Structure 1
C-alpha cells in the first residue's frame, strides 16, 4: 500500500493497471543527484507544525520538510561516497529588479515578498549544505532546467539518469521531473525525500509522476542501488569529485 492510496479514487485504482501506465523505467548507469529548493523559505527554521512555521515562512512545509531532510542527508552521503555529482537548486540570492523577476508568481501568491528574512529565504539549510564539489544552480522558475545551465552540465557529464528529491512535490519537483523526462533522462523520485505544503498535492503528484514520468521509489531501494555503483563514473569529467573525496578541499 502506498501513501497515495488514500487520495486516489477506487475508479482510478481499477483503471490505471488496465492502461499500461506505471511500468517500471529502471535505474540508469550514470546517475546524478538533484536536490531541489531545500531552503529555509520552504522548510522553516526547524521541525515545527506547519501552522506555526508558516507564520514566519509562508511557503514552509513544516515538519514534513524536516522528515524529508533526514532522508536527503542519507542520499547525499551515499552520493558523495560513490563520487556522484550533486546538483542543488534554489531561488535567486537577491531580488531581480524588485518583484519584477518574480514574473507571474506575484499574481498567484501576493505573499511572495513577505518573508521576514529575504536574504535567508533561498539559503540551503545547514543540515544538507553543499560541499566544495557540489553545483548550486539559482533558478527563477519552477523547473531546474528552465533558463539554467543544468542541461549543459548533464550533457558534459554524460549522465543518463537523475535521482530527484526536494520541494515542492507538486511544483518545482514535478516541473523538473517533466523536463528531465522530456530530455530523455531516466527520472527517479525518492518518495521520502520529497515534500509539499499540501498533503493531497504531495501524494497525487507522486502517483501521477510514477504513472507517467518517473519511478517513485523508497529511499532504501535508491540507496541500495547507489551502493552498487563504481566510484569513478564521473571523475574523468569532473576531477573535483576525486579531490573532495580525498579530503583535499575546504568546505564552503
Structure 2
C-alpha cells in the first residue's frame, strides 16, 4: 500500500474511520514513525485455529453463527499469506511459534459473549494449511497476549531473538495485546497487516491504525517475506501513517 494521498492505490483501511481532527493530530504529533528492524526475529502465528477461522467458504454471519469466535472470510483470505510467511521462515531457519488457547485454563477465563459454553475443544486445532511442523513451537495461552503467563519471554531469550513478526488474529484482540506487550519489553514488533484479521471490519482497521501509530510497524506479506529471508535493504519503510 502507499500513502493515503497517492490516488493510484487504495488508502489505508483506517482512513475511512478517521475525522479531520484525527488526521491533523497524527500529523502534528508525528505518530507512526518507523521503528528498528529485528535482525533475528521470530515469527508468531497467533490463534490460527478452526475456532477463530470457522467453516471455510461461509460468509461472516454464517461463520459466527456456526462458531461464536469465527472470523469467516477474512480468516481464510489470510491463510495463504500466513502460509507464505511460515514457508519463508522455515526456509531461512527463523523460528515459528504458534499460539492457541490453553485448554486446561479455559474454564476459569472470563468471557464477554453469551455463547461461551458452546466452545468445543476440537476447534482449538491449528487449521490444516498452517499445521505446525516438527521443530515449531505451539504455546497455549489463556489471555489475549502471547506473553501473558506463558514461557514466550524465556523462549525468545534462549533463541537470541531481537524482535517478533506477528500474523494471525484477531487484530483488535490477541494481535494487538501481543504487540503492545512486545512494546512493553522494548522488543521490535512488525505486524503483517494483510495477514492479520478480525471479525469486525472497524475493529480491524482502527487496531491497525493504533498499532502503527504507537506500538508496532506494519508491513505487508511481501515485505515480511523479504525480512524473514534476510533481505532488509529492500524494505525501506512501513505502510502509510
Query: Following TM superposition, by how much is the alpha carbon of 1:229 offset from its aligned partner in structure 2, in angstroms?
Result: 5.5
Structure 1 unaligned residues grouped into runs of 5+: 231-252
Deviation at 1:165, TM superposition (A): 0.8
Map of 1:193 onto structure 2: 195
Q: Which residue of the other structure, out of 85, 88, 95, is the alignment partner of 1:75?
A: 85
Matches within 5 A, 1:159-174: 159-174=161-176
- Per-residue CA deviation, residues 162-190 of structure 1 (Å, 9 max, x unaligned), is 00011111011111100011111100000
Give the match's secondary structure for 1:55: helix
- Whole-angstrom distance in 1 between the partners of 2:197 and 2:135: 25
Pairs within 5 Å for 1:23-42: 23-42=33-52
Deviation (angstroms), 1:223: 1.3
Q: Distance in 1 between matches of 2:142 and 2:56?
A: 25
Contact 1:93–1:123, Cα closer than 8 Å, also in 2: no
**Structure 1 match to 2:177:** 175
**CA offset digits 1:38-64 (Å, max 9, x no partner):** 101110121320111112111111100
Asked if the contact 1:48/1:63 (under 8 Å) is kept, the reply is yes
Deviation, 1:228, is 2.5
SS of the aligned residue for 1:137 comes to strand
Is residue 56 of structure 1 aligned with residue 66 of structure 2? yes
Can you list the C-alpha shifts for 1:83-136, whole angstroms capped at 9, x where unaligned?
10000000023565xx3x22x22xx21212214xx1212111001011111000
1:120-165 per-residue CA deviation (whole Å, 9 max, x = no partner) reads: 1211100101111100000011110000000000011111110001
- 95 and 209 in structure 1: CA distance in 2 versus 1, 3 angstrom threshold: closer
- State whether structure 2 residue 116 is matched by structure 1 residue 112: yes
The alignment covers a number of residue pairs equal to 222
SS in 1 for 2:166: strand
| Contact 1:94 1:119 (C-alpha < 8 Å) held by counterparts | no
Which residue number corresponds to residue 227 of structure 2? 225
TM-score (norm 2): 0.88
**Over aligned residue pairs, what C-alpha RMSD do you find?**
1.5
Provide structure 2 residue ranges, at least 5 long, that are not aligned to the other structure.
1-10, 233-241
Q: 1:61 to 1:19 in 2, by over 3 A?
A: same
Scaled by the length of structure 1, the TM-score of the pair is 0.85
Match of 2:55 among 45, 63, 73: 45
CA distance in 2, matches of 1:77, 1:8: 36
Q: Distance in 2 between matches of 1:92 and 1:28?
A: 28
